[in-house]
Homo-oligomer: A and B are copies of this chain.
Amino acid sequence: MRAGLTTERVVRAGAELADEVGFDRVTVSEVARRFDVKVASLYSHVKSSQDLKIRIALFALEELAERAADALAGRAGKDALAAYANAYRDYAREHPGRADAARTRLDPETAAASAGVRHSQMTRAILRGYDLAEPDQTHAVRLLGGVFQGYVSLEMSGSFSHSAPDPEVSWARVLDALDALLRNWPTDPARRP
């Protein structure tokens, strides 16, 4: 009897392992154990431990992009903003390991070929509901990317856990604030007459 390993299945198992024990504790050995297979067998499907982790990151980025796209469908303005932001946050709550993986630094070529590109496209799509011309649109894309990544990461780390107000409320108010900011984006003081 063979285990029926494929790169796909190995990466999926790695993603599940990440959610259970943390992305930084994912090892090829443990994945092998879960398939009840010897470690060496995995090396036909992933090049290295590093390669496995990169693949998990790419997988998470894809999965998250899919969810975000679904959430975004048919929405505009603040609705779209909240849908995207919630997709991001909910994903991190359901799949903390994968969400950490999605934050992994990828080398430029890998990143350019990843679903990360779709993420910034979606962010840009959200901004169509607001009146932002270039280059402010790009500034806003970067700001939003930073906020989602940073806020969710902080919340997941428990930084907000044991103090009022409820993180749930803060999140809602942060979305209000971002919406307000995008509606009243300040003009560049350097260009003001």
Q: Is the CB of B150 within 8 A of A146?
A: yes
Q: Within 8 Å CB of A106, what residues of B?
A: 157
Identify which of A13-21, A34-42, A65-73, A137-145 touches chain B: A137-145
Q: Is the CB of A143 within 8 A of B151?
A: yes
Q: Is the CB of B177 within 8 A of A185?
A: yes
For A142, A148, A164, which residue has the most chain B Cβ atoms within 10 angstroms? A142
Q: Is the CB of A135 within 8 A of B154?
A: no
Q: Is the CB of B139 within 8 A of A149?
A: no
A178, B54: Cα distance in complex, Å: 33
* Residues of chain A having any CB pair with chain B under 8 Å: 24, 103, 105-106, 108, 111, 116, 135-136, 138-140, 142-143, 145-165, 167, 169-170, 173-174, 176-177, 179-181, 184-186, 188-189
